[in-house]
């Protein structure tokens, strides 16, 4: 791996002046990178410098690529295996279990090298392995800059937590309580990080509605999300159920071309690959069926699109779907009958739909970047 090019030095003014941020993400799906890019965009818009690193590229000997491939293959083909790993290593609970520090330690030298080259005033982690890495280095005194962790998950698993970090930012009060109960590090709730386009009317929504009408005249469009990697269980069965009930299933297959080809054989279904115009698509649909409580679900909530959790992926996906529903920002449907019942209620204008929309949008109440800047200036 080549060393990052040095960033030109300039005088820094702590009292409200420009800052340098180093944001550590991970190319696991698209959610963590999406959050990292939005934080960087906000920082640059406000006159700060921001540099984004992929923690997987900091690992030596191709370990990062291997880790990504293992996770991708597991959730696509062997979700039960990832579910078992999550239960054993990640899910909160008592008893001694391995943590992520030994793996994170392998990336230590490359991170310290990147810190030296970029000269940040604060380091922000948006992936749990990165949080283990920064906490480890802070505890050893090898990272002098303060370290903030933005926890992207609704359900906080133990690998996010390291007492060496300086600040944790969470998407909900519920997640913040979980962090606070496990570590003495200061914790705040800022809500999710989503690009501003998801809060605004989208002119392209009209084009999407025309496309929906062409594929399924008179049918209500319902999104079925499988994430960036196209990981889902029973997606064809769910699409057939919705189509038979008079809906237009709009299947988001991400970058999984095999899934896209398979779903294209389901009658009455609109199958999409990687979508670049998510704000317009979300504004044009009526409900999203979600299985992971990830960034696509958060974007739906910002867009005013009700979310129903159904057939969640094992592990943190299932925990996240349950936590979202417990907070009232979404619903869960344990079977096809419950799913159709939820769709009838949430696709119809009225109090039930309005309540879900209002509760979902109520999550977006803080500014994570402002808290990061305050940490840097402290």
Interval 61-101: pLDDT, tens: 899 999 899 888 888 888 777 787 777 777 666 555 566 67
Q: Range with the lowest mean pLDDT among 82-91, 128-137, 223-232, 356-365? A: 82-91
Percent of the chain scoring above 90 in pLDDT = 82
The pLDDT assigned to 98 comes to 61
Give the number of C-alpha atoms closer than 13 A to the C-alpha of residue 245, restricted to the C-beta side. 21
Nearest to 370 by CA among 200, 150, 127, 135: 150
- Give the lowest-confidence range in 26-30, 46-50, 73-77, 139-143: 73-77
Closest CA to 128 of 170, 88, 156, 98: 156
Residue 243 has pLDDT above 70, yes or no: yes
- Tell the burial category of 29 from Cβ atoms under 10 Å away from its Cβ (0-12, 13-18, 19+): buried
198-361: same fold as 20-192+364-377? yes
Q: Which fold has domain 198-361?
A: Rossmann fold (3.40.50)
Average pLDDT of the residues of the chain: 91
**The Cα angle at residue 307 between residues 303 and 308, in degrees rounded to 5:** 170
Dig out the tokens for 90 from the structure: 């990640």
Is residue 14 very low, low, confident or very high in pLDDT (cuts 50, 70, 90)?
Answer: very low
Give me the percent of the chain exceeding a pLDDT of 70. Answer: 93
Q: Taking the domains of the chain in order of start, what are their residue ranges?
A: 20-192+364-377, 198-361
Rounded to an integer, the average pLDDT of 333-343 is 98
Name residues whose C-beta falls within 8 Å of residue 71's C-beta, 6 or more positions apart in sequence. 28, 82
Please state, in angstroms and rounded to a whole number, the distance separating the CA atoms of residues 9 and 56.
27
Whether pLDDT at 214 is above 60: yes
Lowest-pLDDT range of 31-45, 85-99, 126-140, 295-309: 85-99
Sign, CA torsion 302/308/313/314: positive
Report pLDDT for 95.
Answer: 57
DSSP run (H or E) holding 236: helix 235-244
Q: Provide the pLDDT confidence category of residue 16 given band limits of 50, 70 and 90.
A: low
Mean pLDDT across 157-178: 96
For domain 20-192+364-377, the CATH architecture is 3-Layer(aba) Sandwich (3.40)
Q: Is 369 exposed, middle or buried (0-12, 13-18, 19+ CB in 10 A)?
A: buried
Which of 26-30, 72-76, 265-269 comes out lowest in average pLDDT?
Answer: 72-76
Look at residue 7 and tell me whether its pLDDT is greater than 80.
Answer: no
Average confidence (pLDDT) over 301-327: 95
Task: Tell me the C-alpha to C-alpha distance, in Å, between residue 335 and each of 27, 113, 128, 236, 353.
Answer: 32, 51, 32, 14, 20
User: Which ranges of 47-99 does DSSP label H, i.e. alpha helix?
Assistant: 55-58, 63-77, 79-85
Does 185 score more than 50 pLDDT?
Answer: yes
pLDDT of residue 144: 96
Q: Which residues pair with 147 in a beta bridge?
A: 123
pLDDT at 92: 63
* Helices of type H across 106-234: 108-118, 128-140, 173-180, 205-215
């Amino acid at each position: 791996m080549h060393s990052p090019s040095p960033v030109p030095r300039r005088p820094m003014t702590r009292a409200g002046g420009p800052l340098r941020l180093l944001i550590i993400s991970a190319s696991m799906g698209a959610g963590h990178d999406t959050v990292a890019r939005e934080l960087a965009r906000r920082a640059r818009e406000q006159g700060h410098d921001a540099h984004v690193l992929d923690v997987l590229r900091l690992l030596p000997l191709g370990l990062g690529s291997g880790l990504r491939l293992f996770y991708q293959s597991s959730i696509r083909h062997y979700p039960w295996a990832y579910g078992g790993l999550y239960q054993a290593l990640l899910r909160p609970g008592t008893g001694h279990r391995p943590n992520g520090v030994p793996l994170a330690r392998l990336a230590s030298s490359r991170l310290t090298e990147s810190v030296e080259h970029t000269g940040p005033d604060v380091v922000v982690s948006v992936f749990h392995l990165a949080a283990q890495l920064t906490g480890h280095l802070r505890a050893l005194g090898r990272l002098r800059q303060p370290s903030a962790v933005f926890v992207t998950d609704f359900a906080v698993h133990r690998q996010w937590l390291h007492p060496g970090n300086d600040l944790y930012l969470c998407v909900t009060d519920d997640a913040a309580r979980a962090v606070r109960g496990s570590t003495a590090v200061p914790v705040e709730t800022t809500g999710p990080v989503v690009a501003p386009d998801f809060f605004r009317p989208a002119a392209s929504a009209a084009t999407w509605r025309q496309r929906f009408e062409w594929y399924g005249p008179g049918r209500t469009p319902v999104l079925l999300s499988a994430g960036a990697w196209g990981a889902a269980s029973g997606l064809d069965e769910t699409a057939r159920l919705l189509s038979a009930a008079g809906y237009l299933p709009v299947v988001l297959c991400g970058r999984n071309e095999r899934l896209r080809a398979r779903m294209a054989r389901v009658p009455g279904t609109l199958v999409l690959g990687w979508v670049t115009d998510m704000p317009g698509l979300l504004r044009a649909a009526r409900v999203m069926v979600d299985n992971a409580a990830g960034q696509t679900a958060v974007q739906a909530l910002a867009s005013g699109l009700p979310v129903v959790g159904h057939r969640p992926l094992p592990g943190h996906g299932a925990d996240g779907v349950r936590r979202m529903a417990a907070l009232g920002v979404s619903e869960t449907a344990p079977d096809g009958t419950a799913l159709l019942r939820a769709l009838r209620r949430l696709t119809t204008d009225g109090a039930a739909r309005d309540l879900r929309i209002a509760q979902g949008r109520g999550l977006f109440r803080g500014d994570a970047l402002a808290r990061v800047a305050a940490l840097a200036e402290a």
